[in-house]
């Protein structure tokens, strides 16, 4: 085993965590600012120039807050639940390539942590579902009936939309004939971005991921008007911050995944000549998608819970199966297009 390799892994992992943390901080800022502008307000503008230091101020404030643990709560699970929730969000992106291969300090470095993993998509689907455990444990350990209801609702919703999400992954796999995320991006370089071939799949992916990360209009588990704050009602201070971190990091994560599977990932003009452009292109695509998620929040009201579940099971699931069949038929009918 080479020490340089281990050092490279550690540096990449630290960089990934730093990027996600900074991304989390400034997604909260972006969301508050964009929502404010859409409602003709200013948004945060006191801490630092244009309010740019607001996320730092929020973080410092949360560190010095009192943390309450309800009297009859399960203490161990209560502390463990936010950790279980945040871990998958931090590790999902390990298999996603952020760019091609760059030459740095005389080493060939691929801009991903484990991009060539041949079961990349299996890893993605497996890791995303772990977050559910954190939610339901948080709800149960709080010993609060609203938290519990929020946790159970979150579980039912996330697993219902996971079916459609899992089927939406099938389209890109069919077109690229591989479960490796790297290979899927390369295939998009050969035959064009997959959202051209997968318009239904792309829309299903966007809707299902919105439900998966509990964002508006699918934020039923945290419906403020009826469930206080859902599964993290009893959480305060830094544990609350961990839940918020999960929510916003997952926003970034699903944007990265949508960009990677349907919008060509890090690909763009001249990316072959200048590999450093890769992360820039990916950042632009992710920024647009995250902005879209925030826009949706500013625009749409919340779904009613029964309609939400009916929509997931009666429309999304059959549509996703149909999309798989259509893609299969397309590949057989037009073998020349798929390379």
Partner 1 sequence: MLLEYLPIAVLLILALLLAGIVIALGHMFGPRHPTERKSMPYESGMRPIGPGTRRMPVHFYLVAVLFILFDIEVMFFLPWAVIYKKLGVFGLVEMLIFIAILGVGYVYVWKMGALEWE
Tokens matching residue 203? 């829309």
Residues 220-239 that bind partner 1 (CB under 8 A): 228, 233-234, 237-239
Q: CB 176 → partner 1: shortest distance, Å?
A: 9
Residues 278-337 that bind partner 1 (CB under 8 A): 305-306, 309-310, 313-314, 317-318, 321, 324-325, 328-329, 331-332
Among 10, 196, 284, 337, binds partner 1 (CB under 8 A): 10
Which segments of the chain are extended strands (E)?
101-104, 107-110
- The site map against partner 1 for 81-120 (x = CB under 8 A) is -xx--xx--xx--xx-----------------xx-xx---
Q: CB 217 → partner 1: shortest distance, Å?
A: 17
Nearer to partner 1, 140 or 261 (CB): 140
- Distance, CA of 113 to CA of 20 (rounded, Å): 14
Nearer to partner 1, 39 or 225 (CB): 225
Identify whether the C-beta of residue 148 lies closer than 8 Å to the C-beta of residue 229. Answer: no
- Distance, CA of 248 to CA of 57 (rounded, Å): 17
Output phi, psi for 336, to 5 deg.
-70, -30
- Distance, CA of 178 to CA of 184 (rounded, Å): 7
Q: CB 48 → partner 1: shortest distance, Å?
A: 22
Identify whether the C-beta of residue 302 lies closer than 8 Å to the C-beta of residue 216. Answer: yes
- The site map against partner 1 for 36-75 (x = CB under 8 A) is --------------------------xxxxxxxxxxx---
Identify whether the C-beta of residue 164 lies closer than 8 Å to the C-beta of residue 204. Answer: yes
Tell me the C-alpha to C-alpha distance, in Å, between residue 125 and each of 66, 159, 201: 36, 11, 16
Q: Which residue has the tokens 């609203």?
A: 146
Report if residue 14 touches partner 1, rule: CB under 8 A: yes
Nearer to partner 1, 126 or 288 (CB): 126
Tell me the C-alpha to C-alpha distance, in Å, between residue 151 and each of 67, 72, 136, 233, 296: 20, 17, 4, 10, 23
Residues 177-206 that bind partner 1 (CB under 8 A): 177-179
Nearer to partner 1, 161 or 281 (CB): 161
Residues 123-182 that bind partner 1 (CB under 8 A): 123, 140, 142-148, 152, 155-156, 159-160, 162-163, 166-167, 170, 173-174, 177-179
């Amino acid at each position: 085993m080479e020490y340089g390799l281990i050092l490279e892994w550690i540096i990449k992992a630290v960089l990934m965590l730093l990027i996600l943390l900074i991304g989390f901080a400034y997604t909260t800022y972006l969301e508050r600012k964009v929502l404010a502008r859409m409602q003709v307000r200013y948004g945060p503008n006191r801490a630092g120039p244009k309010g740019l230091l607001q996320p730092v101020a929020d973080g410092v404030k949360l560190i010095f807050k009192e943390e309450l643990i309800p009297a009859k709560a399960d203490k161990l699970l209560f502390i463990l639940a936010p950790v279980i929730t945040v871990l998958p969000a931090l590790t999902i992106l390990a298999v996603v390539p952020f760019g091609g291969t760059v030459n740095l300090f005389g080493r060939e470095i691929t801009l991903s942590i484990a991009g060539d993993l041949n079961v990349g998509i299996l890893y993605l689907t497996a890791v995303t579902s772990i977050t559910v455990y954190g939610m339901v444990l948080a709800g149960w350990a709080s010993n609060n009936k609203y938290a519990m209801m929020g946790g159970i609702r979150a579980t039912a919703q996330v697993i219902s939309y996971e079916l459609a999400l899992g089927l939406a992954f099938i389209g890109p796999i069919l077109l690229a004939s591989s479960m490796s995320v790297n290979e899927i991006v390369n295939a998009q370089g050969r035959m064009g971005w997959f959202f051209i071939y997968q318009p239904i799949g792309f829309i299903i992916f966007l809707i299902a991921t919105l439900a998966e990360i509990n964002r508006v209009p699918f934020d039923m588990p945290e419906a403020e008007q009826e469930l206080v704050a859902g599964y993290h009602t009893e959480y305060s201070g830094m544990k609350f911050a961990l839940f918020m971190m999960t929510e916003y990091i997952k926003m970034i994560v699903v944007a990265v995944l949508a960009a990677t599977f349907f919008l060509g990932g890090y690909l763009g003009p001249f990316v072959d000549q200048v590999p450093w452009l890769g992360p820039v292109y990916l950042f632009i695509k992710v920024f647009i998608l995250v902005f879209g998620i925030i826009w949706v929040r500013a625009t749409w009201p919340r779904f009613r819970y029964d309609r939400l579940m009916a929509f997931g099971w009666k429309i999304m699931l059959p549509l996703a199966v149909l999309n798989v069949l259509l893609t299969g038929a397309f590949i057989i009918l037009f073998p020349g297009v798929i390379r």
